[in-house]
Every structure is written in C-alpha cells, then in structure tokens.
A and B are shown apart, each in its own frame.
Chain A
C-alpha cells in the first residue's frame, strides 16, 4: 500500500478545520457563548472557503479523482485513509460548506446550551464532509455513522414538537439502514477477495460477479435509501425535520439526506453497476411513488414544517428517479438536484425557523398576512418556495428539467406521473405561501420585527447561490459531467 499526498491536502484541511473547531469549542467555557459562536462561524467559514476553492480549482479537462490523499491506516484489513474529489463529490462538498456556514449564522441567537450545540454540529458536519470525500469503504461507513448519531442529541435537546420521539425514531431508522450497509460492504470486500476496502480498486471491471452485485446493491440501496428518504422508508424524515431546531433542519434536510443519495451513487452504483441496472426499474417505481406521495400528503398538512418535510420526500424522489434512468442527463440532473434541493431546503428551513421563533407557531391557519409585517423574511420564504416549484432561473429548474427529460425517454409512464406529482407539489407550495404571507395584516403579529441585516446574511448567501446556479447552470453541470461520462462507460 502506498502513501500518496496531494501538494496541499485540501480535503484533509476541511476535516481538520472541523475537528479543530470542535476541540476549540470543547475547551472554551460554556458561558462564553459569544466566543463560541465566533469560533464556530470562523471555522465553518474556513470550510466554506476551502470547498469553494476546491470547486473552482478542479481541473475539468483532467477529470477523475483529484486532490487525492492516501495513507495506510489498518494495513491488516487493507484499510487506508483515502480521500479524493470528483464531479460527484465536489457539488456535495460545496453544498456542505454553504449549508454549514449559513446554518451556524442562522443559530446566532441560540442561548440554550450553546457550547454543546455547536460542538455536536461540528461533529456531525465532520462526518458529512468525510463521507463526501472518502474513497475507502471503511471510512465511508465510519463517516456515515459519525454524521448520524449527534442528530439524536441535537433534536432531543434543542428540538420542538415531540422531539424525543422524533429523535429516537430517526436514529433507529437510520441505524437500521446502516445495519444493512455494513454487512453489504463487508460482503463486497470479502467477495472481491482483494483484501482491500479501496473503493476505486474494488470498482475495477470483473472484480465482483453479477449475483454479488445484485444482492449487495439491494442492501446498499435500502440502507442508504432510508437516509435519502426513499418511499416507503421515509417516515422518519418529516417527523425529524419538524422536531429539529432550525440549523439542524437545514443541515439535516439540506445535507444529511444527500448523504443517503450520494451513498447509493458512490457505493451502490459505483461498485455494483450490474446490480444498479437490475434494480433500476424498482428504484424508478419507488422514486415516482415518493414524488407523488410526498406531494399529496404535503397538500393536506397544516404544519409549515411538515409541508416542507413532505416536499423534501417528493424532491428527493426526483433524485432517485434521475439515478434510475441510467442516462447522462438523468444522473447530471440527479446530482444537480441534490445540490439545488440542499440549498433550497436550507433557505426554506431558515425562513420557517425565523417565522417560528418570532410567532411561536408553525400552524399555517394561525399565520397569514406575514408579508405585511415581515416583508424581508417572507421574501426569502417565497424564493425558497419558488425554487421548490422549479421556476426557471432558479437552480432546481435545471435539475428537474434534466431528470424529467431523461425519465420521459426511459420510463414515460413514471415521467408523466412524476410531473403530475410536481404540479400538485407546486399547488401546495403556492397555497402555503398564499396562506402564510398574504392576506390581511394579522394584528397578533403586528409588533414583530423583520429579519435584521445580520440575520439576513446567511439567507442572502443561500439566495445568491440559488440564483447564481439558476442563471449559470453550466457552472455546476460541467463539473458533474466530468464524473458522469466515465461512470456510464462502466455500465455493461
């Protein structure tokens, strides 16, 4: 096993800044909340800068895995600390950087157990970053689990609405997923008989037989799919979103669910292309059901956060459908959708979080007329809703377009159903916007203040990202393509 290090280990630098941030927060006394918040903002800012740099510095002509770092870790089992970034992981790293930084800023007003909150968020995000950059199956699983378990405390301590129930349900569901992933990973490693957990080496053609691939893919798809909110394993997700505090909802729906979809892509599809091909019709079916189901159930919700939670199920279904098409456009669209949905949901939850913090209610019927009281806050909310609907010039438009075009080609029936689901989804989004933001001024909320400039910063960043990639989708698609094209060549 050889050791290979990039000139400057940018990827490890991201992990290091998370871990150093975590340590600094742990060392600071709990009552120094101001310092803790500044430290959190500082270190999360560093990760944002690094992830933007990586995205920009990636050599598209060269393609493949870049910024590679590799070091023997547990040689006996063939485990190495092996990181790299390609067209699939770069959008995810950028997304994590953005959502992490804006999430920290959104929680600037937190007063309750500040130190523990930010420490846990840093731990969670370390896992997320690690998962997106790891190229060793052992580390992929380790980071996957590291990103899951802080969630229990984050929701159970700082959450609302049946928080303990939601936290327990979420943790058990997600760990049930990892109960499938770990045996699947070990199974693949043992079946390959190469004595290594190296994802790239294991993905070489002819390493794994078709039977092995079909079996392992199913386990991996269900295991990671639970986290991606695939119907019918999604039930933890709306409950979890509703209970989680604002920043956690942002990170959770914005980034954590993407880990699931990314896991299906990076581990399942990468290692088991034949398994992927075999199960793709099932993936498409479940994804379509998810899209339609999410939209219809969302339609009947009375709680704002539940609406967004179910819309997430619907939107993640689009990712699943894109991946199931096995076409370049479909995969590009799916990865783009993962990014766009992440930023959009973060904006959504940060807006709803602000509204909830001020009005102390998330029930749609009790709101109304907020546009007259908090014009700025509602503007952010409306932008998020429009992005969710897939309005042109906003990021998710391109993603959804690509997925639907390819699904019409491959699965016309599912494509039609999915689009009709999306129409329902648009309907309920507009209905939510209309009922919360418009209408006569609600005297109960007349005294409330609007989003201040400082609190607006994270939301402005998110809006800018949505608009930037909506206006210039090629910025994102060119990067994703570098990974999609060689990836599709591997299909039998």
Chain B
C-alpha cells in the first residue's frame, strides 16, 4: 500500500496525537499555539506538495485523486487559518486549549477522509467522526451555559440527521446491492425511478444538507454559531462547509442526473434556503447569528450549482467552496479582532471600526461585498459560474430568484458596513488590540478576495482538472 498518498492525513493525525500528549502536560497556551501553527502549517505544505497524488487505499474504499486532494488542501488551509487566529482564544478556558487543537485536527482528519470516501461505510464513519469532534468543540465555550445549550441542540439534531442518513444509505444499499460509489453510480441511474431509491437518496442527502445548514435542517446553525467560541464558529462556517460541498457533489452525482424529482427537491430546498436565510438575517442584531443566516442562504446558492449535475455545475460549486472559505473566514477574523474578550458582538459594537482599525474595516467591507456577490470580488465570480451553469441547464427562474436574494442580502450586509463606516466609535474606544499578524492576514485576505475575483483563471483551471477527476 502506498502510504505516501496518505501523508496529509497522517500529518493531521500526528498533530492530534501531539496535542493528546500535550493535554497531559502542564498548560501553556503560548506553547500550544506555536506548536499548532507550526504543525498545521506543515500539513498545508505537505498537502500542497501531494496535490497530484492518486491511488486507492483500504480495499478501494478510499480514493485519492485530484478532486479529493484539492479539497484536502482547502480543508487544511481552513484549519491553518483557524489555528492562526487562535492566539487569543479567550472564548475557551486555558486548560482546554490542547483539547481544542486536538479536536480541530481530528475533525479535519475526518473531513479529509470524508472527501476521499467512496464507500458508504467509510463515508458514514468519517462523517460521524467529524460531527462528534464538532459537537465537543461547541461544548468547550467558556461560560458553560451558552456552549452547553447550543452544543446539545447541535448534538441532538445532528444525531437525528445522521440516523436518517443511515436509513437512507441502508435503503440505497438494499435497492442496489452496492456499497461502493463506483458501482452505485452505474446501478442507480437505471433504478432511480423506484421509490425506495429516490427516497434513499433523499434521506442520505439529508445528513449532508444538515451539515450545510440547508432548509429545513438549518435550525441549529444560528444557535451554534452564537453559542460556540468565535474560532469554532469560524471553523464550522468555513472548513466544514468545504467538506460537505465535496461530499454532496459525490452523492448527487450518483443519480447521474436522471431523476427530475431529485433535481426539483434540491431546487425547492435551494430556493427556500436562500430566501429564509436572507430574510431572517435582516432581523439579526448579533453578528454571528447574522453570519449564520447568511451561511444558510449561501448553502442555497451552492445547491443551485450542485443540482445542475453537470461538469459546469460541479466546477461552480467547487469554486464556491473556495469563495465561502475565504469570505466567511475574513468576516470571522474581524469578529475575533473586534470581540477580543471572546464575548458575542452586536452589529452596533462595530461602530467606528474604520477609525479603530482601518484594515479590519476594509477587510470586513470587502468580505461582505464579496458575500453579496459584488464585482470585482471572488464572490461575484463564484455566483456568475453558478448562474452560467444553471442557465445552461435552463433553470432561468432559479437564477432570477437567486439574484433577487442577492439584493435582499445586500441590505443586511450594508447595515454591517454602515456600522463599521458610518457610526462613530464609542467614547474612549481606542485602536483595537491587534493580534500578531492579524493585519497582515487581513491585508492578504483582501488581496486574495479581489485578485481571485479579477483573475480566477489559474484557480479555475485547477478546479476544472479536479472536477474531471470527480466524473
């Protein structure tokens, strides 16, 4: 067996083990932070070096190809970024810091396995592993009540969703007698019109739709975002979304585009997610809740790309995964910088941000305009790709509805920009206490958002090649 192609996962596993041992040693937050940054940075480098690795492991249940490697690199980048902004980590007690890094690493490992899984059991186990790590991460929030309440909600809904998914997978297995995706993809299009197959596919998708916070599986998102520590919320809204997009692409591709029922089902979910997410976000005062509802809306946009079940649709959804990662992370960077004490922040607390930290205000504005899909940001290019893919399939109404949702979303994004740029800072509020490297990171993110928006070709070429591996 070629273990080299497993090296990004091994690196992540080693990181988790290191923190398992560090958890037994006396607490030293500084040491933990430096070790975590170094190890996750190394993991990113290793994953990038092994981008073009290919092969199969564990009796063909685990496939390594460009598709999975691109997503693994994205996941590790997400992990690295979240770890990088954990230097303050005031939302989690000092003594739990090693556990925090360990769980993040395990969760990322599980998600990496998720994107490589091509067998329903590997898929299920990987999903559960990632979910349980996330539940515990939410519980770690300092000032227990909030963390426990939202963690419990997350856990209960999550467990039900995964049970439902298991039922769906069982139905699929029963109908097709296949557990390997490569077999299923051949069998399912032929039997897709059987009710148990369509039901099985819909139920098994529900587990991932839950993870992505698509309507009607979205109820956990605002509470969990609000209840989790900022860094954990950042991780949930970025890295975990990336993994789910990858798996959803694989799962929906199983139908071979033969079922109009499935497409209609997903289209309805996409429309409701976009609309509910955006309309509810307008009423939010808490910035993290607002970002949660915006995530629900964005899940709807991604679903439009996924339900095209075409090479263009796949490319657009993958590109959108990068978009979400960059834009949402930038927003959370600003949240963490503004709420240095680890407490939740109202939108009003951003007042005068442009004076307290011009670069953070700029980063926030760029990211929000990106989320609203305004050119020349990466958010616009992502939406354009999705719209082109959907239009090629003839889904004009879907595109129009998505565009009007973009306008609705702009309203609440502008309210946040308004707070940052138009309101005066409160009396006596000085410059924000800067985390080391935060300004450079913010500048880099702004540059990345704009440059990838203006010139997405290299990234698109890579994603195109990766999507070919999927098909």
Q: A residues near B, CB below 8 A?
A: 73-77, 138, 141-142, 145-146, 149, 152-153, 156-157, 164, 168, 171-172, 175-176, 179-180, 182-183, 186-187, 189-190
Contact = CB atoms under 8 A, between A and B. Distances in A.
Nearest to B383: A182
Contact of B387 (A75, A76, A168, A183): A183
Contacts of A189: 388
A462 B440 CA distance: 44
Nearest to A190: B391
Nearest to A26: B362
Given A152-B414, A157-B421, A186 B375 contact: no
Contacts of A187: 391, 396
A175 B400 CA distance: 13
A273 to B, nearest CB: 22
19 contacts: A73-B455, A74-B456, A77-B385, A142-B376, A145-B380, A146-B375, A156-B418, A156-B421, A168-B411, A172-B411, A175-B410, A180-B400, A182-B403, A183-B399, A183-B400, A183-B403, A186-B387, A186-B388, A190-B392
A73 B464 CA distance: 16
Interface in B259-280: none
Given A77-B385, A77-B388, A182-B384, 8 more contacts: A73-B455, A75-B457, A152-B414, A171-B410, A175-B410, A187-B396, A190-B388, A190-B392
Given A74-B460, A75-B457, A172 B375 contact: no
B374 A149 contact: yes
A152 B387 contact: no
Interface in B355-397: 369, 374-376, 380, 384-385, 387-388, 391-392, 396
Nearest to B410: A175
B299 interface: no
B10 to A, nearest CB: 35
A152 B417 contact: yes
Contact of B418 (A76, A164, A183, A186): A164
B21 interface: no
B406 interface: yes
A157 B424 CA distance: 11
B316 to A, nearest CB: 11
Interface string B433-471: 000000000000000000000011100110010000000
In the A-B complex, the 3 residue pairs with the closest CB atoms: A179-B403, A142-B375, A190-B391
Contacts of B460: 74, 76
Nearest to B397: A183
Contacts of B391: 183, 186-187, 190
Contact of B406 (A138, A179, A186): A179
A219 to B, nearest CB: 9
B17 interface: no
Contact of A176 (B396, B407, B461, B464): B407
Contact of B399 (A76, A176, A186): A186
A265 B375 CA distance: 22
B144 to A, nearest CB: 40
Contact of B422 (A138, A164, A172, A190): A164
Nearest to A148: B374
Contacts of B374: 145, 149, 175
A407 B138 CA distance: 69
Contact of A156 (B387, B388, B422): B422
Contact of B457 (A73, A153, A156, A168): A73
B411 A76 contact: no
B307 to A, nearest CB: 17
A172 B411 CA distance: 7
Contacts of A146: 375-376
A350 to B, nearest CB: 25
Contacts of B421: 153, 156-157
Given A172-B410, A180-B403, A138 B384 contact: yes
Nearest to B381: A74
